[in-house]
Structures are given as C-alpha cells and as structure tokens.
C-alpha cells in the first residue's frame, strides 16, 4: 500500500520588494512611451486664419498640421519636370452654421475665392498634380508650416465644389430648420 505524506502547506513567502518596485518602474516606462508617442503624432486641424494667428504666436514650430481652405485657381503653378506644385488657399470658416448661412459648402468656397480680404496661405507640394486641383475646390492639406510662412504639404485631399452643392445642410440634419 502506498503511504501518503502529510503535506503541510509551506508558509507563503512575501513578494520581495524589488519585484514590486521593478513592476512599477516597467509600468511607468510603458505609460511614458505611450504618452510621448501620442504627443508626437498629434495632428492639429486648423483653418487658414487659425494658422496665421498661431504662426505669429510661434505655436506651430515642428508640428504636423492639417489645414482646410478653398483653392485659388489663378495661383496654381505646376512644374512637370520637378513635380513641384505651388498654389494658394483662402480661409473658409470651419463652423458648420456659418457654412449653412452662406448657402452651403459650394457657395462658401465660391465666396471665399472672390473675397480679396480673406486670409491666404501659400502651399508647396512635391508630387503629381491632383486631378481635382481647380479653382474653388476644397483642399484639406497635411504638412508643416515653414518659417518662411509657406505650407509644405505632405498630402493633399481635394473635394470638387460642384459635387457638394448644398451638402452641408443635408449632412448636418439642418434641412428642415
């Protein structure tokens, strides 16, 4: 017959303090890496007026920015040999109610291009010319503001104004108001 030994549970040893401290240090390190990477990848979405105001205050140095505005068709210059594209965008309000008051997005873009008092921002982009780059197109541009005041674009997204006529009231659910 087999004999069973009496197994007295050994008293539980306390977790050494060095493991607790090590765990806290590792968790703090991971938290720091997460927060620092989020801050490095933050992208500000601004209007032309906001960019010019923040530039004068020195708040945009080394920041990745996304800006929206209306393309001025007369300023578009493209060098096919160097793939250098230069154009200007003008301020379009970001407030949806202001866009509705102007008659929709297409009308707001049209008004922005015709108004010589609106703020303007020169854009420099290296790459192929986008097909939808035309007068009054809504441009959403990602990049950085150079010390010279020129916006160096990494990415250009364009919306043709004729395709979005009256779209703001419908998008915002304000059609019947």
Burial of 99 per CB tally in 10 Å (0-12, 13-18, 19+): buried
Q: Encode pLDDT of 58-67 as tens digits.
A: 777 778 889 9
**Structural domains present in the chain:** 44-172 (2.40.50.140)
Q: Name the pTM for this structure.
A: 0.66
Q: Which residues does 118 contact at the CB level (< 8 Å), separation at least 6?
A: 48, 90, 91, 112
Q: Encode pLDDT of 61-117 as tens digits.
A: 778 889 999 999 899 999 999 999 999 999 988 888 888 888 888 888 888 888 899
Half-sphere exposure of 139 (CA within 13 A, CB side): 36
Residues 134/138/141/145 CA torsion (nearest 10 deg) = 90
Max Cα distance, the chain (Å): 104
């Amino acid at each position: 017959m087999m004999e069973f030994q009496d197994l007295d549970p050994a008293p539980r040893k306390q977790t050494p303090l060095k493991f607790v401290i090590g765990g806290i240090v590792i968790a703090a390190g991971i938290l720091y890496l997460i927060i620092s990477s989020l801050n490095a990848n933050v992208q500000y979405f601004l209007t032309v007026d906001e960019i010019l105001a923040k530039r004068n205050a020195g708040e945009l140095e080394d920041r990745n920015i996304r800006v929206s505005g209306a393309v001025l068709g007369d300023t578009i210059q493209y060098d096919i040999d160097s793939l250098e594209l230069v154009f200007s965008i003008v301020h379009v309000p970001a407030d949806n109610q202001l866009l509705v008051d102007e008659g929709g997005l297409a009308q707001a873009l049209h008004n922005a291009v015709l108004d010589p008092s609106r703020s303007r921002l020169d854009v420099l982009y290296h790459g192929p010319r986008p097909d939808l780059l035309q007068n009054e197109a809504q441009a959403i541009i990602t990049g950085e503001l150079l010390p010279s005041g020129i916006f160096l674009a990494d990415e250009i997204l364009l919306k043709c104004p004729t395709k979005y006529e009256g779209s703001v009231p419908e998008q915002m659910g304000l059609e019947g108001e």
